[in-house]
Amino acid sequence: MRQIILVSILLIGIQTNASNIIKNSNVTDVTIYRSYAKETRIGSTSIPLGNSEVIITNITQAIDENSIQVGCKNNVKILSVSSRLNYITDENGLNPGKIKVWQDSVKLLDKKTRYILKQKEAYELELGVLNTNSKLGSNAESMKPAQLKELLELNRIKQAELKKLLFDADEEYNEMRATIAQFQNQINQSTTNAIGKPVREIVLKVYSKVEVNTQFKISYLVTSASWTPTYEIRCENTTKPLVLNCRAKIKQNTGFDWNNVTIKLSTANPNQNHNRPVLYPIYVDFMQLDYYRNQLSLEQSNYKNMMNEKAPTAPTSVQMMATGNSAYSQDDFRDGLKLDENMITISEGDMMVEYEIEQAQDIESDGQDHIIAIQELTMPATYNYHTVPKLDNGVFLLARITDWGKYNLLAGDATLFFDDMYVGRSYINPNISSDTLLISLGRDEKINVKRIKLNDLCVTKKLSNKKRETKAYETILKNNKNTAVEVELLDQYPISRSSDIEVSLDEAEGAQVTKDYGKLLWRIKLQPGESKKIRVVYTMKFPEDKMVAEKN
């Protein structure tokens, strides 16, 4: 009786400690945030009666352990959830794809190259023995001429044979090493999960009243995935609305490919600090001057670094590219990135917008950008030409979009096309408080602008104890187009921050003046071939023993 109880206890212990390993759980859908992503996996296994352990293996290491959520079917109760790293992985349980083939090829070729080196050692040893015997034979006094001739001929044939073998071995060795380098570079380029690396496992303690087959649904955040918006702006002409193709650049480096998964894009960012700011009291006290200067310099340096990191890449110089003649008409082709109707569902919440793409996607774990379409927007716009010759002698075509908040745009790079020609690159920045969104469509090279300093009118005079300095600039605009245009010209004059400095605007005919900012705005109509001149003259009056400088 005692033995029966002991065996029963052992059987119960074995049953309790039994582990069901789910190796091939599938990622069914992914929600990608601006940084981070949420993976959802489905795995099936058989659950015995009582307590048991379920191990869901082959999970990415980039998991956020605090975000794991698990659901199950058939009244199986989950007692606890934990995760761990498994350093002793089973190759058959992983899904390494092509990288396993590349690694096996490297191993095989490396083995062959080591064998070739051993062959070369044997050939060189044999050649050394041959050279030694050849010297001994030449010094032998009793060797007859016929024997010497036969020995020399044999030596020549053998020498040629061995050197040919060494040459072929060197060629084969170099070719194999070059092939190994190619495979190794490809392995290094690919970030697909490699054999030998540890994998993450999710361990579930479960309880079931009956033996049952069930499914587990596991979701968690991964830190090595993100998406950024990118745009393609198309303008047929200035009488048509603006067409904005919104696309997403998806990047993931989880170590496992997403194959045939449903993608959902969210504008939320879990990586941001979501705690509300708390205002604490600040205190003032005396401090050393040197310390203050050091702190001020440090703060300014940190601020500049932060702004450099956040600043968007400056648009490249615009290049006009002709479409040229083609053997195919445009009607033969369609934009392969455009989504068909009813292929995307847009859900707008109070704090985020989600784009659910119904067509299943394949996103490899290669750290590269994978571009998919989100939506196409037709936005009514008004167009005008804009120039700031003080900063750039270029005239830019601007599209002004009102009520742009309803489009839920995010900041991102944009590629510009005007009349089906590539114009250049720009940047969309919707993070503004203005009710009008300005999008630069590039330069128009057929409108010339030039700003020059009028040295004849720039004079400095002394009046009593004051110095009076006058500056004058002239801007010349010319319309080389076949149609009339209206150009918005922006210039400025300095504003005084000191009561000892007086600034007066002497000449700015026809300008709309904003005194608080020193802004001068003209709207100039130019007929075809017409040119106009705009002059700005201002005077600064300040103490003669002082010097002034214009700065932002």
Residue whose entry in the numeric block shows the structure tokens 């001739």: 149
φ, ψ (nearest 5 deg) of residue 428:
-95, 125
Q: Are 69 and 219 in contact (CB under 8 A)?
A: yes
User: Is pLDDT of 539 > 90?
Assistant: yes
Domain 447-543 is found in CATH 2.40.30: no
Return the pLDDT at 508.
92
Q: Are 28 and 44 in contact (CB under 8 A)?
A: no
- Structure confidence at residue 477 as a pLDDT band (50, 70, 90): very high
Distances 528 to 447, 484, 497 between C-alpha atoms, Å: 10, 5, 43
DSSP tag of 316: P
440's enclosing H/E stretch is strand 436-443
Q: Are 461 and 524 in contact (CB under 8 A)?
A: no
**Interatomic CA distance for residues 253 and 27, integer angstroms:** 15
Choice among 281-290, 345-354, 402-411 with the minimum mean pLDDT: 281-290
- Residues 6 or more apart in contact with residue 87 via CB below 8 angstroms: 198
Average pLDDT estimate for 77-93: 75
Average pLDDT estimate for 433-442: 80
- Residues 6 or more apart in contact with residue 397 via CB below 8 angstroms: 238, 383, 384, 385, 386, 418, 440, 441, 442, 443, 444
- Structure confidence at residue 70 as a pLDDT band (50, 70, 90): very high
Return the pLDDT at 300.
55
Choice among 144-148, 270-274, 494-498, 539-543 with the minimum mean pLDDT: 144-148
- For 233-271, the pLDDT digits (tens) are 898 888 889 999 999 999 998 888 899 999 999 988 887
**Interatomic CA distance for residues 68 and 219, integer angstroms:** 6
DSSP tag of 259: E
Q: What's the whole-number average pLDDT of the chain?
A: 80
Choice among 170-179, 264-273, 339-348 with the minimum mean pLDDT: 339-348
Return the pLDDT at 164.
85
User: Is pLDDT of 313 > 50?
Assistant: no
**Interatomic CA distance for residues 85 and 58, integer angstroms:** 10
**SS3 assignment for 218-239:** EEEEEEEEEEEEEEEEEECCCC
Six token digits for residue 403: 């009520």
